[in-house]
Amino acid sequence: MPTNLPPDALQAEKRYREAETLEDRIATLEVYIGLIPKHKGTDHLRADLRRQLSKLKASVQSGKKTARQDSAFRIDREGAGQVAIVGVTNVGKSALVAALTNATPEVSDAPYATWEPTPGMMLVDDVQVQLIDTPPLSRDYVEPELLSLIRRSDLILLVVDVQTQPVQQLEESIAILEEHRIVPLNHKDNYPDDPRFAFKPLLVLANKCDDQEADELFEIFSLLLDEKWPIPALRAGTLLPVSATTGHNLEQLKQAVFAGLAIIRVYAKPPGKDPDLTRPYVLPRDSTVEDFARKIHKDFYDNLKSARVWGSATFDGQAVSRDHVLRDGDVVELRI
Ligand SMILES: Nc1nc2c(ncn2[C@@H]2O[C@H](COP(=O)(O)OP(=O)(O)OP(=O)(O)O)[C@@H](O)[C@H]2O)c(=O)[nH]1
Ligand SMILES: [Mg+2]
């Protein structure tokens, strides 16, 4: 029986012990966990209870498949891409999501503050991207549902705290992911080409680079990595110093996410009119005029007679073929 808990938490614990059905046990345990004060002294207790909770939830799922839909870990895709922010506890994942999106996840000094994912929308220029704050990766236990969420995402942002053993944090996070067959794209060559592996683009964020002193820590961090990571994991552009507190490099972070998603924006120009530059169509990189036509409407795809492009063509308004490869920012006029 846990001691040093406030009376309401003790009462909730009693209700949990007395709950009889599986549903009741889950409901009362969730209330109990929510009432436990968050500090280092309750760290183990909370981690332990969360493990129990996910076991209970797993047994509901194996009993009836429809429970999956209710899971907080199944987040509908919105916007041009889904990006999972992951890392060990206290590195500032929630703080980054709060700084970059409209969402307001709990930011806390106490470890293991986040235990359910929270999505938020981040505007990169004129494109909305979905960022998902997630519970911490931990050597002890990782929720299977968290791993599925990461596997479904288009891009992983792996956060470390530049002020607290960032090298170890990075190595531990990568090891946990790889043990569960989630492999950064740049480690692909180390693994068999097997569909059970999810190869993901991954960007490392060294958070808490608030000031000059922290910048020096970042320098040391990146130097240490060069020695310890012979694989080209952290080639230019995959490691970025940021600060959720001061906003340092958050614009660069947005641009890096956009680049990591490998998408382009294309603007439609109705014949004889100006293009609508406020509403981009988002397409995978290397899409063609034909892909763009299909995205607008099947009729355009089926009946496309000609296309003109401003941007990637040699001259503005040049007539191009259906298989012309488009570039980010192109304006396209389709005629049917
Ligand atoms: N100095 C500094 N502190 C930060 C920064 N970002 C977050 N923090 C602090 O670090 C602590 C942890 O932040 P969170 O965002 O809750 O960390 P988390 O990674 O979500 O932690 P878990 O939910 O436990 O996994 C809080 O006290 C934050 O205020 C930053 O850029 N600079
Ligand atoms: Mg958090």
CB of 245 sitting under 6 A from ligand 1: yes
Residue 24 pLDDT: 87
Cα of 91 vs centre of ligand 2, distance in Å, is: 8
CB neighbour list of residue 275: distance below 8 Å, 6 or more residues apart? 267, 268, 269, 310, 331, 333
Averaged pLDDT, 57-70:
63
Question: Atom 13 in ligand 1: which residue has the minimum CA distance?
Answer: 92
Residue located nearest, by CA, to atom 24 of ligand 1: 112
Q: Calculate how far, in angstroms, residue 316's C-alpha sits from the geometric centre of ligand 2.
A: 48
For the cut 50, the answer to whether the pLDDT of residue 310 exceeds it is yes
The pLDDT tens digits of the residues spanning 106-133 come to 999 988 999 899 999 999 999 999 999 9
User: What mean pLDDT comes out for the span 210-226?
Assistant: 90
Report the alpha-carbon distance of residue 182 to residue 199 in Å, rounded: 6
Q: pLDDT band for position 59 (50/70/90)?
A: confident
User: Residues with Cβ < 8 Å from 213, sequence gap 6 or more?
Assistant: none
Residue 228 banded pLDDT, cuts 50, 70, 90: very low
Give nearest CA residue, ligand 1 atom 7.
92
pLDDT tens-digit readout, 242-251? 999 999 999 9
262 backbone dihedrals φ, ψ, rounded to 5°: 55, 55
Using a cut of 0.95, tell me whether the model's pTM lies above it.
Answer: no
Q: How many CB atoms lie within 10 A of CB 230?
A: 7
* Nearest-5° Cα angle at 196, 194 to 200: 90
Question: Ligand 1 pocket check: which of 43, 88, 93, 107 to mutate, most ligand atoms within 8 Å of Cβ?
Answer: 107
